[in-house]
Amino acid sequence: AQRKLLLLPGDGIGPEIAAEVSKLIAILNDVVSAGFETETALVGGSAYDDCGEAVSDATMDLAMAADAVLFGAVGGPKWDGVPYDKRPEAGLLRLRKDMELFANLRPAICYPALADASSLKREIIEGLDILILRELTGGVYFGEPKEIVDLGNGQKRAVDTQVYETYEIERIARAAFELARTRRGKVTSMEKRNVMKTGVFWNEVVTRIHREEFPDLTLEHELADAGGMKLVRAPKQFDVIVTDNLFGDMLSDIAAMLTGSLGMLPSASLGKPDAATGRRKALYEPVHGSAPDIAGQGIANPIAMLASLGMCLRYSFAMNREADALDAAISQTLEAGIRTGDIMAEGCTKVGTGGMGDAVAER
C-alpha cells in the first residue's frame, strides 16, 4: 500500500532534524516495505523567501492530499520584520485551520535513562506514559466578542469569550475515547463545572458520548485545578486526559515538563476522519521551535522529531509494532549513554544531530 507523507522541514534546525526523520522513513520502506512516498516542500520563513507566503497554495494542496504531514519548525529573527499575516507562524496556523486540526495530542512519557534529570522523584515518573488531548480550534482563544472597550470614564473593559458548541465537544470526546481504546482504556475529562457554564456543558457532552458510544471504557472527571495538582503529584494514575483549549495549553506544558527537555517532546494534531477511508487528517511536529541559537551547527536533538514520526506511525497508520520499535530504539540509544548537548550528562557520549539519528536508526 502507498502511504503519502508530506515533509515540511521549515526553518532553523527544522531541516537538520527532518534529515534524520528521512533516514528512518527509508529504513521503514526497506525493512518492512512500509510504502512511504515522501514529498518535501517549504514552509515558514523559507517559504516566504521563496514565494512571499508562509505556505503556498500548492503546498496546501499537497498537505490536503497527504495521509500525514511531518512538520519541523518555523521562525527566526530573519523574519521579524515581515507583515503579520506572512510571518512564519502563519504557515502553521493555515495548515491547522484548513486541515481542521481540532485535537492536539501531547504525550508525556518517561524514558528511564532520563528519569533522574526530572525535577520529580524517580518513583513518581518512572514508567510514565500519559496523553494529554487538548481541544485546539475552539474555546476562549477564538470566541467572540474578544475586545478591549473604552468605557469613557477612564476605565476600560477587556473581554474574552469562551464558547463551545455540541459538535466541538462531541468530536474531541470521540477522539479521546478512540485513543484510550488503543491504550489503557481510561479517559479523564477536566473542566471547571463548579464555576463555568462551558464546564457544565463539556462534562454533560463527554458523559453522554461515553454512555452512548464507549460504555466499555472508563471515564473520570476532575476539576481542572485539582487535576493539575494530581498531574504533578501522581501522574501515573492518568491514561488519556481530555480538556479544552485553555486548560489544555497549560496542562500539556506542565505534563511535558514532568519528563524533561524540549528536544524530546513530540506532538500530533488530528482532524476529522475522512468519509471514504476513515483516516484522519493529521500533522506531526516536535513541541520545540526552530532554535535559531543553535541552527546550522549540527547539534540539535532530533529525538522530538523522530518521536513525532513514531506518533505518525501509531495514529495515522496503525503501525503500532513499528512505532513501539522506534520508541524502543530511542530508549535504548539513551540507555547506551548517547546524548546530544541539551540532554548531556556525566559519563555519557556526546553526539550531534546526525550521530543521534544514526544511533537510533542502527537500533
- Which residues are catalytically annotated? 141, 192, 225, 249, 253
| 260 near ligand NAI (CB under 6 A) | no
| 293 near ligand NAI (CB under 6 A) | yes
Query: Among residues 9, 15, 76, 107, which is the contact residue for ligand NAI, using CB under 6 A?
Result: 76
CA pair distance 144, 151, nearest whole angstrom = 19
Please identify, among the stretches 101-109, 184-192, 250-258, 317-325, the one whose residues bind Mg ion according to the rule CB under 5 A. Answer: 250-258
Beta bridge partners of 132: 106, 241
- Asked whether the beta carbons of 229 and 217 are under 8 A apart, the reply is no
Is 147 labeled as ligand-binding?
no
| 292 near ligand NAI (CB under 6 A) | yes
Least separation in angstroms between residue 84's CB and ligand NAI is 13
DSSP category for residue 348: P
> In terms of DSSP H, where are the helices of the chain?
14-32, 45-51, 57-65, 88-98, 122-125, 166-181, 197-213, 224-233, 245-259, 303-317, 320-335, 353-362
Binding positions for ligand NAI, 294-313, rule CB under 6 A: 294, 300-301, 304
DSSP string, 22-80: HHHHHHHHHHH---EEEEE---THHHHHHHSSSS-HHHHHHHHHSSEEEEEE---GGGT
Please identify, among the stretches 48-56, 179-187, 272-280, 288-296, the one whose residues bind ligand NAI according to the rule CB under 6 A. Answer: 288-296
Please identify, among the stretches 41-49, 74-82, 164-172, 249-257, the one whose residues bind Mg ion according to the rule CB under 5 A. Answer: 249-257
Least separation in angstroms between residue 165's CB and ligand NAI is 27
| 263 near ligand NAI (CB under 6 A) | yes
> Cell 495521509 belongs to which residue?
67
| 73 near ligand NAI (CB under 6 A) | yes
Query: Among residues 249, 285, 322, 327, which is the contact residue for Mg ion, using CB under 5 A?
Result: 249
Least separation in angstroms between residue 252's CB and Mg ion is 7
| 357 near ligand NAI (CB under 6 A) | no
| 75 near ligand NAI (CB under 6 A) | yes
> Cell 529573527 belongs to which residue?
77
Is 49 labeled as ligand-binding?
no
Is 106 labeled as ligand-binding?
yes
Query: Residue 249 touches which of Mg ion, ligand NAI, none (CB < 5 to 8 A by kind)?
Result: Mg ion
Closest CA to 135 of 159, 162, 171, 109: 171
CA pair distance 129, 90, nearest whole angstrom = 32
- Asked whether the beta carbons of 319 and 309 are under 8 A apart, the reply is no
| 143 near ligand NAI (CB under 6 A) | no
- Asked whether the beta carbons of 43 and 54 are under 8 A apart, the reply is yes
Least separation in angstroms between residue 305's CB and ligand NAI is 7
> In a 3-state reduction of DSSP, which class is residue 102?
coil
Nearer to ligand NAI (CB atom), residue 71 or residue 315: 71
Is 307 labeled as ligand-binding?
no
Please identify, among the stretches 201-209, 243-251, 276-284, 311-319, the one whose residues bind Mg ion according to the rule CB under 5 A. Answer: 243-251
Contacts of 30 (CB under 8 A, 6+ apart): none
Please identify, among the stretches 22-30, 60-68, 71-79, 107-115, the one whose residues bind ligand NAI according to the rule CB under 6 A. Answer: 71-79
> In a 3-state reduction of DSSP, which class is residue 340?
coil
- Asked whether the beta carbons of 336 and 312 are under 8 A apart, the reply is no
Least separation in angstroms between residue 291's CB and ligand NAI is 4
> Cell 470526546 belongs to which residue?
173
Beta bridge partners of 189: 221, 242
Q: Which residues are annotated as a binding site for NAD(+)?
A: 76-89, 289-301
Residues that bind Mg ion (CB under 5 A): 249, 253
Residues that bind ligand NAI (CB under 6 A): 13, 73-76, 89, 92, 262-263, 285, 288-294, 300-301, 304, 342
Q: Which residues are annotated as a binding site for Mg(2+)?
A: 225, 249, 253
